[in-house]
Amino acid sequence: MTTAEVRRPPAAPAPSGRWLARGRAATRLVWLHLRSRRVPAGVLSIAACALVLRAALRWNWMFTSGSLAQQLPMIIEAGAVVAVVVTSHSPFGETERATGRWLPYLRLGAALALTGLAIGVLQLGVTGGSLNGGVLVLARNVVGLTGIGLLCAPVTGGLLAWTLPVGYVAFAEYALLESWVSPWVWPVRPADDRGAWICACVVYAVGLLAFTVRGARTRLTDNG
């Protein structure tokens, strides 16, 4: 075959077909991005955390009132959060950054979607039970802890980004026992406390921004 045989370019697809193809490509891109980050397994982990939370309520593994009632739910919420933050790890590294401009948007979208999914699935797990503090405290804990994890990811890499959220939870356990009141330790504050919400959201926003712009630090030797 030679170029001489090409007499005219192939006909452009109809506008509707073009949008369909773009849509398919975008969907495929999103799916490949999520799969490369093991997001499906992350979603399963979040669901497992919701089941554990349900079991804790069902079989009274925790205090039912007072500030100490926050302790176990917070640990389990941290379980869902670490499942979110370890999906920030990319197995491709620099190569992926060179391939297009959509990567930051994909990171942003995945992090936002998984945070929302974690809140939704955990809340689904406790539906019908009486979780101390309700969905507001649950959401605030998930948002704040995810922010800490995302903030950690550009420094430690996604695979070790669980360390700081776990450390924060261990510290918050102490703060709950000692009745701390600082809004930066948001698990100790009531559900409608504005200062605690502001602190949790600020941490989340900063973490999300850092992760969106920088991404998680990547070591290609680690490919979990």
Contact criterion met (CB below 8 Å) for 97 and 18? no
Answer whether 88's CB lies under 8 Å from 158's CB. Answer: yes
Closest to another protein by CB, 56 or 111: 56
> By the 8 A CB rule, do 152 and 163 touch?
yes
In the bound state with another protein, the residue whose beta carbon lies nearer, of 56 and 119, is 56
In the complex, least distance from residue 118 CB atom to another protein, rounded to whole angstroms:
13
- How near is the Cβ of 77 to another protein at its closest, in Å? 10
> What are 220's two structure tokens?
């290609």
Q: Is 96 or 173 the residue whose CB approaches another protein more closely?
A: 173
Which tokens go with 186?
């948001």
The amino acid present at 79, given as its one-letter code, is G
CB of 81 to another protein, least distance (A): 9
Q: Which residues of 12-50 are buried (b: 16+ CB within 10 A; e: fewer)?
A: eeeeeeeeeeeeeeeeeebeebbebbbbeebbebbbbbb
Q: Which of 87, 93, 214, 217 is nearest to 156 (CA)?
A: 217
- Residue 76 or 199 having the CB closest to another protein: 76
> In the bound complex, what is the minimum distance in angstroms from residue 140's beta carbon to another protein?
19
CB of 160 to another protein, least distance (A): 7
Task: By CB under 8 A, name the binding residues for another protein.
Answer: 38, 41-42, 45, 49, 52, 56, 61-63, 71-72, 75-76, 78-79, 82-83, 85-87, 89, 158-160, 162-164, 166-167, 169-171, 173-174, 177-178, 221-224
Considering the complex, state which of residue 89 and residue 189 has its C-beta at the smaller distance from another protein.
89
